[in-house]
Amino acid sequence: MNLSRPLTHPLVLALLLTLANAVKPAVIDDTAYLLFARHLSQHPLDPYGFDLFWYLEPLPAMMIILPPVVPYWLAAGVTLFGENLLLLKFWLFPFAAILAYAARFLVRRFVRQELPLATALLVLGPGVLPYFNFMLDVPAIAFQLAAVALCVRGTDRDRNRWALVLAGVCLALALQTKYSVLGLPAVLLAVAFLRRASVAGLVPVGVGLALFAGWEFYLISQYGQSHFLYHLTRKGGESGGVIGFISQKTPLILPLFAYLGATAGWVGVFGLARVVSPRVLRAVVALLVVLALVIAFVPGRWTLISSKPPSQDPTGLADIYFRAVGGLAFVVGVRFAAITAFRSWGVVLRRSWESRFLLAWFLLELGAYFAVTPFPAGRRVLGVTAVLTLIALRLGTRLARIEPRMKAASWVLALGLLSGVAVAAIDTWDALPERELPRRAADVTRERGWTGTGYFVGHWGYQYYAEQAGMRILVPGRTVLQPGDWLVLPVNPDGRDFYRPNGADIILNPNAVEPAVTLVWDDIVAAQTIPNLYAGRTPILGITHPRLAVTVYRVTAMWTPLPVPE
């Protein structure tokens, strides 16, 4: 009996993805979507008619990028069983299932040859597993892949109209899950055009855009403006013409390679199998593993390569490592795509619409990355990663029939899965302090019998857990602290970098507060993903300081904290 088949069934893969997410604390923007879902559970017909404390102060919800699909689904879960994060994580299972079934369909169509790990790489690989949480990215890629799969099915010879309509529904859901998938209509049109079914391709695009616009018209009737257009015009006004656009987007190039190093690094290794012997390939992988362990356990200050001081953005081993691995993956992906589409580099394969479509899809995803990415982050390259995965698997299976080296390199697929598990494990570990330290701070005040009101400064997942621990968020210039209150402030290593929990900086008044205790989370793991996996230049960095530290203060005099001047 082949045990790999039941273990790689879409429902099993979706369950494994959900279980991995279930053990992870709330991270980064999870808090915003949970707070949005809380509001929607009470006011389902008034989605943006409230203020949400995000960034540094309460803001109208319309000003925050909060597309409705995932928050409304979470709101249904909150209505059913409250804000139980474990149950809400399992409530996300349908998104994982949609992703898994869409991935299996695409693998069968574009890879053809049955590979036990092919679908698993799209569902549990490094381009998905570390990013599944309450945020929008994995649900968006799930609807995106489902729309493509249904469009492919709908443009088969029998022209399945219901598949085309469902592709349009998935298109609308993808667009209203995350606006950065704006290139998806062009992807669906490319499917139809290359299959000589251009008229049929208008069905999913028309249905999807109509449903998308319908929701925006509802918002206009409610609030006098469209949520999508509000944010589109805000971003559009910043370009400053072609030169300004290019100057804004050029800094995204190196982070693109760095984040691909984490999400698609195995593709580069897979491509090396064509040009080096199996022994050399194993040696390269061994070196990469050793360097990864150095990044994971050696403090970052010992792996600096440049001589610049920290305030001038130094380059470390992690930066070079991920850029090199990601750059290799990018080059291999482009070369593989060219081989499959144009039979180049001396490889003669049967030309097909599938090969040309994968190249077009890759170029569209790459264009979307530069067009709509406001800042570099791992989640911005998930679409590019999915297409690179399909390209590598498609050509790899074909070359394996004629090149023994490629057939012998199939173990690299397992390496890709393991890399996803490793990044997800680091991210889960890195999120723990933001859950535990607010709880410990609240425990300190209870043990000491403090009866005042607790306040905190912080953002992201830390904000959610501090509020769950009974504290109120401090608003600089507005919050008035009274004697007997207490305040929890993060201890930043210095003022020169982007540290969690990234709250407001306030001017501390030593005459109004006295420190009670400093709580520190430190461990032997140097690898850090928060916040750099979600916003930064390199997915994993080696930290040189405790993972998180907070100080609990007792308020001794009435005091209104003021923000540090910019």
Q: Output the six-digit token pair for 313.
A: 């953005």
Only one residue has tokens 């390679």, namely 257
Contact 23, 48 (CB under 8 A): no
> Higher model confidence: residue 238 or residue 27?
27
Q: Which residues pair with 520 in a beta bridge?
A: 549
Task: Report the share of the chain in percent with pLDDT over 70.
Answer: 90
Point out the least confidently predicted range of 229-238, 287-296, 336-345. Answer: 336-345
Is residue 311 scored above 50 in pLDDT? no
Using CB atoms within 10 Å of the CB of residue 495, give its burial: 0 to 12 exposed, 13 to 18 middle, 19+ buried.
Answer: exposed
Whole-number mean pLDDT of the chain? 87
**Residue 312's pLDDT is what?**
47
3 pLDDT band (50/70/90 cuts)? Answer: very low
DSSP code for 448: T
Locus of tokens 């082949």: 2
Asked if residues 180 and 382 have their Cβ atoms less than 8 Å apart, the reply is no
Amino acid identity at 294: V
Q: pLDDT per residue over 356-399, tens digit each?
A: 899 899 999 999 888 887 888 888 999 999 999 998 888 877 77
pLDDT at position 537, please?
87
pLDDT at 187: 94
Which of the two residues, 102 and 493, has the higher pLDDT score? 102
Q: What is the pLDDT of residues 422-461, one digit of tens each?
A: 999 999 999 999 999 999 999 999 999 888 899 999 888 8
Distance CA 411, CA 175 (A): 36
Give residue-wise pLDDT tens across range 111-167: 876 667 889 999 999 999 999 999 999 999 999 999 999 999 998 888 788 989 999
pTM: 0.90
Task: Answer yes or no: are the C-beta atoms of 303 and 318 closer than 8 Å.
Answer: yes
Confidence of residue 403 (pLDDT cuts 50, 70, 90): low
Averaged pLDDT, 527-537: 89
> In this predicted structure, what is the pLDDT of residue 338?
78
pLDDT (0 to 100) of residue 495: 58
pLDDT band at 553 (very low <50, low <70, confident <90, very high): very high
Assess contact for 378 and 262: CB atoms under 8 A: yes
Element (H, E) at 246: helix 241-249
Q: Tell me the pLDDT tens digit for each residue of 226-248.
A: 999 988 887 654 556 677 777 77
Three-class DSSP labels, 277-335: CHHHHHHHHHHHHHHHHHHHHCCHHHCECCCCCHHHCCCEHHHHHHHHHHHHHHHHHHH
With a cut of 70, say whether residue 310 has pLDDT above it: no
Q: So what's the pLDDT on residue 501?
A: 80
Greater confidence, 184 or 401?
A: 184
Neighbours of 551 (CB within 10 A): 18
Query: Rounded distance, CA 529 to CA 547, Å?
Result: 11
User: Quick check: 25 pLDDT over 90?
Assistant: yes
When pLDDT is cut at 50, 70 and 90, the band that residue 170 belongs to is very high
Distance CA 461, CA 486 (A): 21
Alpha-carbon separation of residue 169 from 201, 356, 364, 471 (angstroms): 13, 25, 21, 41
Task: Give the C-alpha distances (Å, rounded to integers) separating 523 from 116, 526, 543.
Answer: 37, 8, 11
Residue type, 89: K
The mean per-residue pLDDT over the stretch 89-99 comes to 96
Q: Lowest-pLDDT range, 136-140, 145-149, 205-209, 311-315?
A: 311-315
Region 191-220: mean pLDDT is 91
Q: Is residue 472 predicted with pLDDT exceeding 70?
A: yes
Q: Residue 344: pLDDT above 60? A: no
Indicate the helix (H) or strand (E) that contains 242.
helix 241-249
**Predicted local confidence at residue 248, as pLDDT:** 78
pLDDT of residue 153: 92
Which pLDDT tens digit goes with each residue over 245-281? Answer: 777 778 888 899 999 999 999 888 888 887 788 888 8
Structure tokens at 536: 């930064």
pLDDT at 502: 76
The residue type at 76: A
3-class SS of residue 544: coil
| Joined tokens for residue 293 | 């362990």
